[in-house]
Amino acid sequence: MGAITLNELTDRLATLSYPVSLETVDRELGDTTLQLADGETTIGETLELVGTDRFDSENELESELFGALPRNAVGEPYQSEGEG
């Protein structure tokens, strides 16, 4: 699969049927590259860092993936669009 940005991740996760196992997510989406603010990783590499092997919903899976990404993956730490 091709590279996607983090804001495209939700659409990609919506292609799965829930509940879903970590193995299924890895098999279906593991090779997908995530473009990060500071480089890239794959969904499979990120799955290695999550603490569960089953996801009951798309929101749960997305939260686990975002929680496993490095803090600077989405841009400057502690910055928000509302500052300035």
pLDDT in tens, 34-77: 998 888 999 999 999 998 999 999 999 999 999 998 766 655 54
For residue 84, pLDDT over 80 is answered with no
- 14-37 CB burial, b ≥16 within 10 A, e <16: eeeeeebebeebbebbbebebebe
Domain boundaries along the sequence of the chain: 3-74
> What's the pLDDT score for residue 38?
82
